[in-house]
Amino acid sequence: MMRISTSWMYQQSLNTMLNQEAELANTQNQVSSSKAINVASDNPVGASQIVGLNHILAENTGFANNIGSANTRLSTETNTLSSVSNLLNGVNDLALGSINGSMSSGDMSDMATQLTQMRNSLVQLANTSDANGMALFAGTSTTTTPFVQSANGSVSYAGNDQQAYTSIGEGLQVANADPGSSVFMNLAAGNGSFVATAPASNTGTLVVGANSVTDTSAWSAANAAGPVNDTITFGAGGTYAVTDSAGNPVTDASGNPITGTYQDGGSISFNGVSVTMSGTPAAGDTMNVQADTGSNNQDVFTTLNNMISALQSGGSSTAFVNTMNRQLESLNQAMSSVNSTQVSVGSRMDTLQDQQTSDSGLSVTYQSALSDVQNVDMATAISNLSLQSTALQASQQVFAKVQGLTLFNYIH
């Protein structure tokens, strides 16, 4: 027969109550904190999952903040570009009005003043900053004022050509602005492929009008040995011949020199280009066709300054119209640049919206997973708390009664 000592019995009862007290304290902690896991030892595997899920949620919160910041910058940029577009449309209307042939010197002076004000407004728009004071069109030099205007009205670019990016997801970045060099400065001259100009030294009434590339293959072949820089020289009665930059005759596909006779309102075509003209050239007058290269790019501020100078200086109507026509071509390049940038910004804002929607859905999923692991089922916890408290009280009462028993209880 096994003999059970009184001290062993007391120790077992005490251990039972201590375990019950520990369980009760843990349940009380869960109820008060609303969490099933308060320390890693409560559930090591679950605690590891909580750390991982909290890390993912923190990353998503950071991405959400980045999306908000990028969206704010891009919204500011698109509003600014809309203002720039409206301003350039106004410049275009003003310039077209100046070549209608009925403008007095006073009218031209007034137009020059209006264009000067428009140019100054354009500089201010190009120096727009976001809500944090960071320049929109300075590339990554966001603390720099990107466009600096000198006393004579010329404008230089002080930013860089790099594009600033914002991280909006794992391995996903979106440009949050555009460098001013690409939007306002490095713009193709003329029609985007070449510039057709009639020098002010011409003595006839030849005006260069619309011009374009009509045969891309022929134009590409003409530029294969180097950028085209050809001159059309007129003789008596509108006859003409085309020579290259070295003075050599430019030939057609059959090797024949390109010559002909121009008539008022007609066009001259060669090497895949067509140039429409009006007026009558004097013998010895010329026209130049130069392919667009980095050396003849023209920024939008120079375009406005050239218009202002032409309006202020006057000169012959033929030279003035030729100058304004070329500047209108350059202005169209600037307007195209602004429009294409607006389209790009809109596309990026759509990307931000899509990513924000995706991240919101993922955050809900991760929050639900975290809740399943971390949060306590309050109804079950309260029920357990009641049961554990009752069990502990019962154990304490039994222990107290057993502790008070002696042999004298049975003698009675």
pTM for this model (two decimals): 0.77
Q: What are phi and psi of 176, to 5 degrees?
A: -100, 5
Owner of token pair 């998503």: 60
Q: What is the pLDDT of residue 168?
A: 86
Q: Are 291 and 229 contacting, i.e. CB atoms less than 8 angstroms apart?
A: yes
Check whether 48 has a pLDDT greater than 70. Answer: no
Mean pLDDT of 15-43: 60
The rounded distance, in Å, linking the Cα atoms of 89 and 241 is: 38
Higher pLDDT, 338 or 390: 338
| pLDDT score at 355 | 83
Q: What is the pLDDT of residue 115?
A: 97
pLDDT confidence band for 58 (50 / 70 / 90): confident
**What's the token pair of residue 125?**
């728009």
d(CA 56, CA 236): 80
Chain segment 291-311, per-residue pLDDT in tens: 988 777 899 999 999 999 999
Q: Are 60 and 359 in contact (CB under 8 A)?
A: yes
More confident residue, 137 or 392: 137
Region for 322 from its dihedrals, namely left if φ exceeds 0, alpha if ψ lies in -120 to 50, beta otherwise: alpha
pLDDT band per the 50, 70, 90 thresholds, residue 204 = very high
Lowest mean pLDDT among 58-62, 183-187, 214-218, 221-225: 58-62
Pull the structure tokens for residue 379: 């109804």
Tell which wins on pLDDT, 61 or 236. 236
Q: What number is the average pLDDT over the span 24-53? A: 61
Dist CA 287 CA 275 (whole Å): 10
Highest-scoring range by mean pLDDT, 47-51, 76-80, 107-111, 249-253: 76-80
Paired sense of beta strands 172-175 and 165-169, if any: antiparallel
Alpha carbon of 12 to those of 5, 7, 9, 213, 406: distances in Å? 11, 9, 5, 101, 19
Q: What is the pLDDT of residue 274?
A: 96
Q: What does the alpha-carbon distance between residue 268 and residue 323 come to, in Å, rounded to a whole number?
A: 20
- Mean pLDDT to the nearest integer, 259-272: 94
pLDDT at 270 over 70: yes
Q: Residue 240 forms beta bridges with which residues?
A: 234, 260
Q: What is the pLDDT of residue 141?
A: 94
277 has pLDDT over 80: yes
Residue-averaged pLDDT of the chain: 84
- Residue found under tokens 């023209």: 298
β-bridge pairing 229-234 and 286-291: antiparallel
Q: Lowest mean pLDDT: which of 121-125, 160-164, 365-369? A: 365-369
Q: What is the pLDDT of residue 215?
A: 94
Asked if pLDDT for residue 402 goes beyond 70, the answer is: no
Question: Percentage of the chain with pLDDT > 70?
Answer: 74
Pairing of strands 286-291, 147-149: unpaired
- Which candidate, 5, 13, 3, places its Cα nearest to that of 400? 13
What is the model's pLDDT at position 205?
Answer: 94
In 244-297, the DSSP E strands lie at: 259-261, 267-270, 273-278, 286-291
pLDDT in tens, 140-166: 999 999 999 999 999 999 999 999 999
Structural contact between residues 316 and 333, judged by C-beta atoms closer than 8 angstroms: no
**Residue 57 CB contacts under 8 Å (≥ 6 apart), including other chains:** 363, 366, 367, 370
Angle between helices 317-374 and 44-98 (to 10 degrees): 170
Report the first-to-last Cα separation within the chain, whole angstroms.
Answer: 27
Domain extent listing, the chain: 53-187+298-401, 194-295
Binned at pLDDT 50, 70 and 90, residue 170 comes out as: confident
Compute CA 19 distance to the chain's CA centroid, rounded to the nearest angstrom.
Answer: 63
Q: How far is CA 53 from the centre of its chain?
A: 32
For residue 392, pLDDT over 90 is answered with no
Give CA–CA dist 248/82, Å, rounded: 48
DSSP, collapsed to helix, strand or coil, labels residue 213 as: strand
Distance CA 137, CA 159 (A): 8
Please, what's the largest Cα pairwise distance for the chain? 152
pLDDT at 360: 72
CATH topology of domain 53-187+298-401: f41 fragment of flagellin, N-terminal domain (1.20.1330)
